[in-house]
Structure 1
């Protein structure tokens, strides 16, 4: 879908909601205090609870608020235009690398792009002229084309910067005001809309008194990593386009990888946002990810039920207890009971207002044998071999061979011994940071003193490479 069509749809939706859009009004300054923000504009003063700067890469709000804006300086100048020209029959269709840079021709008639590694333009506000476009296209392509007319033309660089935080008190940033990058990969619009969706429901909850202001801090923690990845994505594309032999070799290898099923799947997931996952509590594969657009037995799809701007609890097993829990959040969480034949393993999904999964559960999860409390708390998993003892989640210094239950703090068990004896390193990192270990005891590296009625197992384990043995409980 073209960006112009998306802008038209969003504008129409704003009109439906009665949003007061004041076009042509310039922000000149603002004063923020503990309770509100006074914004000074060319049309007068506005008093509001919060100020969100969505005013582009040269954001006035960002500069006046004093946000740090680190990043990398540009090394290329790009021109993209739709033109009328003669001599175009000698231009290759698609992207072509030459000794002078890179150019693209098509797919729509008259579309051309030039990339030259000559640094940024001396005057980035200067208009793009026909003569300049023609000279750059000839230089990049080596083809003697003549441009006779210009319909549209833009200039951009690979300037890549991002604010260190998206919030300063009552001032927040979204879109290009928070991050700038080159247009390669066409990620800018999607990234900005993702910022707005993430911030919008949280800001509404705070303003409505349904959530504390601290919820707004999760806007930075969730969206900043996504913006940082997009900046690196665009930087990598510029690196692959450089005309030196090393970059050309890298480009060939990446092209080969992109032609594989795994490579195509990875790139597609990254480009369409399916690879984004927020760090939310829970171990279900859907948690923190964009909710899948499930086909439901009511004849619709999941997306059809998300237009209200509220969270949605999707009950896929007709569970009265689950709906009773959601009843206490009436007006904030919608409830839908339906089936999903394509995902029979799913029991329930809680979708946030921005379309991301806050929680999910599989059918039969309640009937499974619950692991001991400390194993659930520390995220210990069953061993891959299915031999009955838990797998490891922490690195341990011990390598003895005993058949004791794993310690809840150091997670040592015979699984590690078997792995080391076979030459494997079955070491997994913890899902969360562990607290400081208590002082060492003579019976276990990190455990408390055993009760008098609980004898030690009688076997010992020692440090790898020798050392004093200790009895494991």
Structure 2
């Protein structure tokens, strides 16, 4: 029997597979598509997942050829522009990368580490018992100790496990397209008079015109109506443009077209026995820029816990913390994207006044910084337990600059192996060494250390800070003692 089957070979499922393989398992990814999709459903990553990719050494390869990678100079919030330029250390991070390339690189990483990707296998049925999960497939049958549904908003896994998916469906349809752009663009056309880059609002709807890479124009049309039946055609798109702006607008040769209706939904639970949900299978957000950040960070959270249980390091109860930690994060993301969607849809002069007032408010640093933290995910604090003597416990570890026996390093560089790290900052340095169980011990110095000792989880969150209570925290999270705290530095 296999350890873990992952249903869905999108970015979330592939990230989960790579993390499980990094931890020493050999997961199997099942996808009903015979070939990887080349549709640019997403054009980049925004938020804490960018830092997590840095923790795994993936940020460099993913950034190659990217139009932008780094702190965001700005970001839209429900058509209210957020401008971060001129403010130091704003938390929101961006990486522009189209989804097909992201999936290719994540597939290569997962395969290199030992995961297996099986395409052309559709899930038709699911049965679980005390020992494992059996999937009935279009190609036969597969069985594993655990299964994870990463199979999107219409998740078969979620339906087969009976997990509810309450929420709402928007009354507007979005038609989105990528068009070959010769450099002149639609704004050179006389018929583009009155249009601006970004969203253009009319009484009939909204028109988006932007570009994320040279040679490609991104256009979108929002209007009230039902989701289109069948694929969106060039004529469908042109007709929608005419309805919204009242005239034709040459956009160039279409490269890709789609039609969607936004939904706002959150699964009743993230776990049903030996089956888990992650990504769009667990939540749908009505505004963009959030789904992959939430879904891929869920994958990293779940992976190390599944691996720790399957490798016999910790009791099975650790898996309960996946839903305890991640479902509230998705709920908060759902709330802020609902706010964005409402702000974007607000019509007429009342809506214009609301957007203008919020733009004025967000020009001030404190509300701007607070909103950037929400969008990034750095406002997340996992439940620290009844005793939490330090404000870092439950939060993502800061990327401290360290002096170690091996030279200058960042905290992110200590996390490459996806293992727990005990970072001893009491002033001595020594070679990195294995601690109790599977904890790596690093002794280092840094300017203004936030605590004497930091115990860092594989997903980058601080499990404990300080020496009092450290042994209990190491046992609870990792089933290990931290002997290096008592050791004499080398």
TM-score under structure 1 normalisation? 0.70
> Paired residue for 1:112, among 214, 219, 223?
219
Hey, what's the Cα distance between the residues in 2 that align with 1:142 and 1:263? 38
Q: Select the structure with the greater relative contact order (CA < 8 A; seq sep ≥ 6).
A: 2
TM-score by length of 2: 0.68
**Superimposed CA distance per residue, residues 103-134 of structure 1 (whole angstroms, 9 cap, x where no aligned partner):** 22113442112222x143153xx101111111
Asked if the contact 2:168–2:263 (Cα under 8 Å) also holds between the matched residues in 1, the reply is yes
Q: What is the RMSD computed on CA atoms of the aligned residues?
A: 2.4
- Which residue of 98, 114, 121 maps to 1:25? 121
* 8 Å Cα contact 2:428/2:444 also seen in 1: no
Among 241, 244, 251, the residue aligned to 1:140: 244
Specify the alignment match of 2:449 in structure 1.
Answer: 344
CA gap of 1:222–1:87, structure 2 versus 1, over 3 A, is closer
State the Cα distance separating 1:9 from its structure 2 match.
Answer: 2.6
8 Å CA contact 1:130–1:150 kept in 2: the answer is yes
Distance 2:450 2:157 in 1: 48
Q: Is the 8 A contact 2:208 2:220 kept in 1?
A: yes
CA contact (8 A) 1:316 1:337 kept: yes
Distance 1:81 1:227 in 2: 28
**Is residue 223 of structure 1 aligned with residue 326 of structure 2?**
yes
Does structure 2 conserve the Cα–Cα contact (< 8 Å) formed by 1:185 and 1:271? no
Using the alignment, how far apart are the partners of 2:377 and 2:187 within structure 1? 36
| CA distance 1:46–1:201, change in 2 (3 Å) | same
- Would you say the 8 A contact 1:239–1:247 is kept in 2? no
Residue 350 of structure 1 contacts residue 360 of structure 1 at CA under 8 Å; is this kept in 2?
yes
Q: Among residues 314, 327, 330, which one is paired with 2:423 in the alignment?
A: 314
Is 1:299 the counterpart of 2:403? The answer is no
Distance 2:102 2:392 in 1: 27
Identify which of 354, 358, 374 aligns with 1:254: 358
Aligned residue number for residue 317 of structure 2:
214
Per the alignment, residue 204 of structure 1 pairs with 307
59-68 vs 285-294, greater mean Cα deviation: 285-294
User: Cα distance, 1:73 vs. partner?
Assistant: 2.1
Q: Deviations over 1:87-114 (max 9, x none)?
A: 5432311222222222221134421122
Q: Distance in 1 between matches of 2:363 and 2:118?
A: 47
In 2, Cα distance between the equivalents of 1:120 and 1:340?
57
The offset of 1:146, in angstroms, is: 3.0
| Larger radius of gyration between Structure 1 and Structure 2 | 1
Q: Aligned pair in 2 of structure 1 residues 259, 103: CA closer, same or farther (>3 Å)?
A: farther
> Structure 1: which 5+ runs fail to align?
367-473
Distance in 1 (alpha carbons) for counterparts of 2:131 and 2:395: 34
Give the Cα separation in 2 of the matches to 1:167 and 1:52: 9
1:318–1:340 Cα change, 3 Å: closer
Check 1:87–1:271 CA distance in 2 against 1; reply closer, same or farther (3 A cut). Answer: closer
Q: Which residue of 2 aligns with 1:272?
A: 376
Query: Equivalent residue for 2:163?
Result: 67
Which secondary structure does the structure 2 equivalent of 1:21 belong to?
A: strand
Contact kept, 8 Å, 1:83 with 1:148, in 2: the verdict is: yes
Aligned match of 1:360: 465
Report the equivalent of 1:40: 136
- CA separation in 2, counterparts of 1:159 and 1:267? 22
Q: 1:147: how far off?
A: 4.1
- Partner of 2:253, secondary structure, is strand
Partner of 2:27: none
CA distance in 1, matches of 2:177, 2:228: 20
Cα separation, 2, equivalents of 1:230 and 1:195: 13
Q: Is the 8 A contact 2:165 2:267 kept in 1?
A: yes
Unaligned runs of 5+ in 2: 1-94, 470-490
Of 66-75 and 265-274, the range deviating more from structure 2: 265-274
Query: Is structure 2 residue 204 aligned with structure 1 residue 100?
Result: yes
User: Do the aligned residues in 2 keep the contact of 1:74 with 1:120 (CA within 8 Å)?
Assistant: no
CA positional deviation for 1:318: 4.6
Deviations 1:256-288 (A, max 9, x none): 222221232122212222121111131422111
Instruction: State the number of aligned residues.
Output: 354
* Structure 1 partner of 2:46: none
Q: Which residue of 2 aligns with 1:156?
A: 260
CA offset at residue 148 of structure 1? 4.6
